Copies of this chain bind each other. A is one copy, B any other.
Amino acid sequence: MTGGAGSAGFALGIVSIKEDPMSDLATQVRKIAQEARVASAELALKTADERNQALRAMAAALRRETPQIVAANQLDMEAARAKGTKESLLDRLMLDRGRIESMAAALEELCDLPDPLGQVQEERTMYNGMELRRISVPLGVVAVVYEARPNVTADAAGICLKSGNAAVLRGGSMAARSNEAVARVLAAAAQEAGMPQGWLGAITSTDRAATDELMQLHGVVDVLIPRGGAGLIRHCVEHSKVPVIETGTGNCHVYVHASADLAMARAIILNAKCRRYGVCNAAETLLADGCVAEDFLPKVFADMTERGVLLHLDQAAAEIARREGLEEDQDFVIATEEDWATEYLGPELAVRTVGGVLEAIDHVNAYGTMHSEAIVAEDEQAATTFLNRVDAAAVYWNASTAFTDGGQFGLGAEIGISTQKLHARGPFALQGLTSYKYVLRGTGQVRS
């Protein structure tokens, strides 16, 4: 149902989780987005202080309404368990007092970041005396489509509000009740603190057609940010009329050059692969120069098998593995063409031997997703060639790909990691949710 009353008695744009006939759903999604559009005009005029106060009110409301949010989350958890959802996904879905406190704290941290709006990016007096200024403004209406984790609801709402944007959030169906509870609490708290009604819309219908409808709303929604698997992102890129910022698909490589400090290389691939398996900045393929493979790969194989990481090896690497006594089909398999293009997001690693930096670059540019790419080398010329020629958001020399992250890059809370080149690339945050406007002041000038 649209516009139901929130817990504190505030109208909130929600397309609820009950199943609706398709035509009705489309109308409701459009209404939510239209209300967000109207709200965005008012929101853009709020001062930084006003927006920060609303963020603090949202944090306080999350803490106050924790029992209600946990209760909604438990319904999602029960439904997910009944469907036989695996533990790792259940863990991502779960909200408890500690996690809700983290969501609240993240909202408060946003208050300390500089205001991305109203920045004068350029200021000039034109030849005819007109004053030209280029000033940062919000994008308007930001739609975020995301999957399991319900904390994204609070994170995305907060980042949008801090940057003066209205938000339309479309979370995963598994977390629908949790997302709806969080969104109701946030929307009501921000409205009570003076933000315009409709600034936050939540689409928690489990019907996938809701996302498709959102993608039609060119002119109403200014940008669509899909956060999730490669399938979701491809679907959005192929069907959206609203401009999309692609995020998060990371088929990342670590390349070990002949000149590498092999102890350093070992630590870097271990960190890049095993720090966390499910993140987009994790390495999925190790490339190693053939001339160091004999020395280097046995150590990597030991690290990986010890952690239960399945190796996908090219023939040369497989030969070394066999010699080291690794078991085929258990510790390793022979890599196929498909492996080079696969983002495992799990305890698997592809390994390929190459004949130098140019072959490594060709592999990375052919199979990578322009996310994060690393070279380990002592040879500066090889490193420079790699850094210059690899086409990716973040390129590393002698460091782990795991650093590609808004917090690590000093951007504060990120809304995503862009793997496209338009508008924002790599981790993007508040500044990535702004546009600009030329403001020109004259005294009657006309153009000859």
A interface residue numbers (CB < 8 A to B) = 41, 44-45, 124, 126, 130, 132, 137, 139-140, 218, 222-223, 237-238, 241, 243-245, 261, 264, 267-268, 270-272, 275, 365, 387-389, 391-400, 402-404, 408-410, 420-423, 425-426, 435-447
10 A–B contacts, CB within 8 A, in A order = A126-B408, A267-B444, A268-B446, A394-B437, A394-B439, A396-B442, A399-B440, A399-B445, A400-B447, A425-B438
Contact of A241 among B237, B275, B387 (CB under 8 A): B237
Given A243-B422, A437-B425: A264 and B389 within 8 A (CB)? no
Contact of A446 among B223, B394, B399 (CB under 8 A): B399
- Nearest residue (CB) in B for A392 is B437
Main secondary structure of the interface of A (DSSP, over half): mixed
Do residues A223 and B422 form an inter-chain contact, with CB atoms below 8 A? yes
Contact of A442 among B399, B435, B441 (CB under 8 A): B399
Do residues B437 and A140 form an inter-chain contact, with CB atoms below 8 A? no
Contact of A439 among B132, B387, B403 (CB under 8 A): B387
Q: How far is the CA of A394 from the CA of B385 in the complex (A)?
A: 41
Do residues A422 and B423 form an inter-chain contact, with CB atoms below 8 A? yes
CB neighbours (8 Å) of A126 from chain B are: 403, 408, 410
Do residues A438 and B395 form an inter-chain contact, with CB atoms below 8 A? yes
In the assembled complex, the CB of A176 is this many whole angstroms from the nearest CB of chain B, namely 29
In the assembled complex, the CB of A380 is this many whole angstroms from the nearest CB of chain B, namely 10
Q: Knowing that A41-B391, A397-B439, A400-B446 are A-B contacts, what are 6 other residue pairs whose CB atoms are under 8 Å apart, sorted by A's residue number?
A: A41-B365, A44-B388, A140-B421, A272-B446, A275-B447, A403-B445
Max chain B Cβ within 10 angstroms of own Cβ: one of A139, A261, A275, A446:
A446
- Nearest residue (CB) in B for A402 is B447
Do residues A222 and B388 form an inter-chain contact, with CB atoms below 8 A? no
CB neighbours (8 Å) of A245 from chain B are: 422
Do residues A409 and B395 form an inter-chain contact, with CB atoms below 8 A? no
Contact of A403 among B222, B408, B443, B447 (CB under 8 A): B447
CB neighbours (8 Å) of A398 from chain B are: 441-445
Do residues B445 and A222 form an inter-chain contact, with CB atoms below 8 A? no
Q: How far is the CA of A223 from the CA of B420 in the complex (A)?
A: 10
In the assembled complex, the CB of A234 is this many whole angstroms from the nearest CB of chain B, namely 9
Do residues B132 and A409 form an inter-chain contact, with CB atoms below 8 A? yes
**Which 10 A-B residue pairs are closest in the complex by CB-CB distance?**
A399-B442, A271-B446, A421-B435, A402-B447, A264-B444, A423-B423, A394-B438, A399-B445, A400-B446, A398-B442
Contact of A444 among B238, B268, B410 (CB under 8 A): B268
Do residues B400 and A445 form an inter-chain contact, with CB atoms below 8 A? yes
Do residues A243 and B244 form an inter-chain contact, with CB atoms below 8 A? yes
CB neighbours (8 Å) of A238 from chain B are: 218, 241
CB neighbours (8 Å) of A270 from chain B are: 446
- Nearest residue (CB) in B for A418 is B435
Do residues B222 and A140 form an inter-chain contact, with CB atoms below 8 A? no
Given A271-B447, A403-B447, A422-B139: A437 and B393 within 8 A (CB)? yes
- Nearest residue (CB) in B for A426 is B438
Max chain B Cβ within 10 angstroms of own Cβ: one of A41, A130, A410, A442:
A442
Do residues B446 and A396 form an inter-chain contact, with CB atoms below 8 A? no
